[in-house]
Chains A and B, each alone.
Chain A
Amino acid sequence: MGRYLIRRLIQAIPVLIGATFLIYWLAFKLPGDPIQALAGEKKADPLVAAMLREKYHLDESFLAQYWHYITNLAQGNFGETLTGRSVWDKITEAFPYTVNLALLAFAIEAVVGVLAGIMAALRRGRFLDQLVLLSTLLVISVPVFVTGFVLQLSLGVKLKTDFGFDFFPVSFNEADGIRAYLLPALVLASTSLAYVARLTRTSLMETMRADYVRTATAKGLPRSRVVGRHALRNALIPIVTFLGADLGSLMGGAVITEKIFNIHGIGGLLAESVYRKEGTVIVGVVSLLIIVYLVANLAVDMLYAVLDPRIRYA
């Protein structure tokens, strides 16, 4: 297990380097002059501009710039923005919001999705199954920003104005605590939730037909034990795979949800940095997201061994 873990971590390094290289190159290619952007409408002071260019290595070639960046990153230094702020500070300011949002969305998606899937699979072909299939189909087709606006209007506004039930804040306010995250998290989770429900349904339906499930039933085990212990545990493998890969995309996909609900998280930071051509911030944020993605995938592979004892890592 330990050796496998180390091998996987080493394998992740080229992916990380490749991805940062690609992102850095894209950021480098952004049109316009970042130093001039700093000066706004005024013409940038040539002396200051030259000084800044030298300080941030902007006068060097792309490869040299990337080399400076990656060697700093390897030492845990995310660099600083052109206005002299530490990129790490900016990231740690924005990250908690996105992490809270993504984790809550993840919890909603995992719990509600898996439960809906189990119910649908156990009542195959009946009303509940059809209901789950139909509603997930609808949720998958409606784009996130549409879901966002519709839920904002129905749960955030109408519920308050028409029914006097003020529970979901229309816009994000930190003072509301976890309540502030509920609606955005629901929006963020919606599409993945539908996928999880469908995946659980299919996967559980397939395992319910396996020989060991029939054996368990024949042994006279109660249905809850047959489903929970024998079928579900095996059916969980593809679901865990999906959930693991999704954690990364939840954090990256929060851009739109954050915009609708006015949350100052990673998405907003990224959009702002693209606009300001702050290559270092863009690459820092995206690298972090990629690390989250890789770690989540690794965790999934570790979980396989827990779920299915036949899977062993040497």
Chain B
Amino acid sequence: MRDTTTVGDELTTDTQTAGAPSASKHAKPAKKEREASLWSDAMGDLRRNPVFIIGAVLVLFLLVLAAVPGLFTSGSPFDATACKLQDSLKTPSSSHWFGYDIQGCDVYTRTVWAARNSVIVGITTTTLVLLVGSGLGLIAGWVGGFVDSVLSRFTEIFFAIPVLLGGMLIMSGLQGNAWTVSVVLATLGWPQIFRIMRSSVLQNKNNDYVMAARALGAGTWRITVRHILPNAVAPVIVVGAISLGVYISAEAALSYLGIGVQPPGISWGLMVSDASVRWLQAPHVLLFPAAALSVTVLAFIMVGDAVRDALDPKLR
């Protein structure tokens, strides 16, 4: 809490230093103080944290994989002639590292290309959830009264609907691809961010520095951007990073149930679902996409965990 106020107080500190007679003398220590803000402190921590480094490297690798899968494999999963039924369920070999699936397609190529949909779902859903959740949360917190009660009851309704069941219900009426899955997951996922944002506004709107800013003539928008958001950013980033992994996992679960990404689209969940039919005879067809999925989710959770530890000094 102490560190978060430092960030929020930036405006006030600036005015004080500027107004002080010996401004030039104090300029250096003031600058040093800012260097030790929550963020630089956290960055320093993160750079020394092996969990964060491993997670971040994995995430970067995954982003490259999603952007240019052609770098890692010469094959394409959309080339129908590449699969030969006589190769069906062949085990891994030196030329085909992950073996072949039931249709005789190269599992490695498909696993590499499937990363894209997972990354799309993770990033799109998280972005949507952040936009909708924080937007509504800010409105509920600032306006209060009737609007707040209505929005809060509304959130409770969404909280009460289990994500997987709600997802099943909405998805079955839609064309299944990465974008629709993202929208559906975001529809069910925003209440969490809503709560964080709402409570951040309620906690801070009566603080002295907000009063001071208001007295100096700052409008609601400026107060929100300079004082409310910086206070809420830490928990939101942590929840965002961890739920990015959770959304990727949820997409895979929906695809596994046959209502997420639809063929010819490719997804790790879909690959696991296809492989599950012959799973006991040919476990490798299932294990490779499953492992890719698990490592991806792990990477995001590692980053989220490390960021949380860095931003929350209470846990040390």
A positions within 8 Å CB-CB of B: 14-15, 18-19, 22-23, 26-27, 29-31, 137-138, 140-146, 149-150, 153, 157, 202, 205-206, 248-249, 252-253, 255-256, 259-260, 270-271, 274-275, 282, 286, 289-290, 293-294
Contact = CB atoms under 8 A, between A and B. Distances in A.
B157 A22 contact: yes
B20 interface: no
Interface of B: 153-154, 156-157, 160-166, 168-170, 172-173, 245, 249, 252-253, 256-257, 269, 272, 276, 279-280, 283, 286-287, 290, 293-295, 297-298, 301-302, 305, 314-315
A30 B257 CA distance: 17
Nearest to B298: A141
B272 A146 contact: yes
Contacts of A22: 157, 161
A126 B305 CA distance: 19
B283 A141 contact: no
Closest 8 CB pairs of A and B: A252-B162, A141-B298, A18-B157, A146-B290, A141-B297, A142-B294, A143-B249, A290-B160
B280 A145 contact: no
Contact of B301 (A26, A137, A145, A274): A137
The listed residue with most B CB atoms (<10 A of its CB), out of A14, A15, A30, A293, is A15
A275 B138 CA distance: 39
Contacts of B156: 15
Contacts, number: 115
B153 A146 contact: no
Nearest to A260: B276
Contacts of B276: 149, 260
Nearest to A206: B314
B265 to A, nearest CB: 18
A197 B163 CA distance: 23
Contact of A149 (B153, B164, B170, B286): B286
B169 A23 contact: yes
A202 B308 CA distance: 13
Contacts of B252: 143, 145
Given A14-B153, A143-B253, A143-B294, A19 B161 contact: yes
B160 A19 contact: yes
A170 B146 CA distance: 54
Given A137-B301, A149-B276, A202-B315, 8 more contacts: A15-B156, A30-B169, A30-B173, A149-B290, A206-B315, A260-B276, A274-B169, A282-B169
B249 A18 contact: no
B253 A145 contact: yes
Contacts of A157: 280
A255 B257 contact: yes
Nearest to A32: B173
A269 B179 CA distance: 27
Contacts of A145: 252-253, 256, 269, 272
